[in-house]
Amino acid sequence: MTSVPLGSLSERQITQCLAGTGLGLAVGKFRALIRSDTDLLATPLRLLYQDYVCDPEATGFFDFRINLMRERDYPWNDWVVAFDWEGSSPFPSLPLAQTHPLFEWGLNWCVATASGMDTVIHSAVVERDGLALVMPGQPGSGKSTLCAALTLSDWRILSDELTIVAHADGRVQPVPRPVSLKGTSIDLIRERFPGADLTVPVTATHKGAIAYARPPTAAVLAVDRPVPIGFIVFPRFKAGTELVFEELPRAVALAELMENTFNVGLLGATGFEALARSICSARCYAVEYGDLTSILRWVDDTCTPQR
Amino acid sequence: MEIDHLGEVMAVKYPGEQEVALFVPGSAEVALCSSEEWQAAKVLISQEGLHRLGDQADADELPIGQGLRDLLRTLGASVG
């Protein structure tokens, strides 16, 4: 089996792999086989996943075999792109221009579905000093923007969308992926981190304009370093407000986490107990903030191993 | 961390905190109550059984919060 960094392939080679037998890609502990005939994946994949190990010959076992293929009902219709994982998909077909975001959303779905007994929380998660900082939040809470800023600072990204807590030991499993940025966050991050690699925004998605930031090489290479949960922060962005925060009891944080968890209802008693144990040593906070500078300063001051 | 199991109910309490998180497997919901409420509920459940909590009148007499009453009433109805 051939394993090389995706960045060692040209865009033409990537396009050929995708259109042929597929491109194998290691994402965290998962191996994905990706096929696409849209010609729109090679550029963003090469930029964002350049440090990830890939298999251009598509050999061996894969956790997911996913396809992003063009389709149209009639010759006079515009082409659209459809995602499927071995014939299954929760997504509608989308305009062809949204091929890359659909790939990222689809891969999130695959990872969440394939995580088995591990608890999967809808949240961003980063790490520093050996402790994970988990940031659950609904759309609009600012968690992705905060995650991007921390990732491009001195925190290691573990995931921008799915916190996977291992059932066996309660540690967060890294599945580093590109960080999604929406709307005004795109320019905000571009201005604050001018050296960051960002994709060209895709507009007119159901989430508005979307771009993705490449995860740092060190984070991609540290995929085998899970860490315990040290902090849980529930962010709430409200433009123009002063930062206010309160420390939460862990029981309250546990209840909030459950509302953001995809699969605890399936895991039952053992899953609940495992999740409860995983936050035993965590400090938990709810934070409302009005600008990125203040929340970054607060995280730096507060989310340290010793206060 | 303390975990109590009482019938279908799991209760989690962390050191140094007053709040208790209650969970019924299969519901995917977590209720919160105080330590005092949970102790009172435990006594009642252990003495009277979960089925007693399905009775509206009995549930209203419990010295515990509404959220916990509703949760335990659901439990009572489910084991009825």
Which residue in chain A has the smallest CA separation from B4?
A273
Q: Does A249 touch chain B (CB under 8 A)?
A: yes
Q: Does A263 touch chain B (CB under 8 A)?
A: no
pTM as predicted: 0.90
Structure token pair of residue A22 = 């597929």
How many Å apart are CA A174 and CA A157, to the nearest integer?
8
The pLDDT value given to residue A126: 98
Cβ-proximal residues to A163 (8 Å cutoff; 6+ apart), any chain: A120, A121, A122, A123, A124, A125, A132, A134, A136, A172
Chains A, B: CB contacts under 8 A, how many?
52
The strand ranges marked E within chain A are: 4-5, 23-27, 30-36, 53-55, 64-71, 80-85, 94-95, 119-128, 131-136, 156-159, 162-165, 172-173, 179-182, 202-205, 208-213, 229-237, 244-248, 283-289
Write out pLDDT tens, residues A235-249: 999 988 999 999 999
Q: Which of A249, A259, A272 sits opposite B19 (nearest CB)?
A: A249
Q: Classify strands A64-71 and A30-36 as parallel, antiparallel or unpaired.
A: parallel
Write out pLDDT tens, residues A29-53: 999 999 999 999 999 999 999 999 9
Structure token pair of residue A1 = 């089996």
Closest-CA distance, B53 to chain A, in angstroms, reads 22
Q: Which of B10, B19, B29 sits opposite A251 (nearest CB)?
A: B19
Section A196-201 average pLDDT: 96
The pLDDT value given to residue B60: 52
How many Å apart are CA B68 and CA A255, to the nearest integer?
14
Closest-CA distance, B15 to chain A, in angstroms, reads 9
Q: Does A87 touch chain B (CB under 8 A)?
A: no
The pLDDT value given to residue A303: 96
- Answer whether B12 sits within 8 Å of A276, measured CB to CB: yes
A176: three-class secondary structure by DSSP: coil
How many Å apart are CA A86 and CA A83, to the nearest integer?
10
Structure confidence at residue B29 as a pLDDT band (50, 70, 90): confident
Give exposure, B19-36, as e/b (b: 16+ Cβ within 10 Å).
Answer: bbbbbbbebbebbbbeee
- Answer whether A255 sits within 8 Å of B3, measured CB to CB: no
Residues of chain A neighbouring B1 (CB-CB closer than 8 A): 276-277, 280
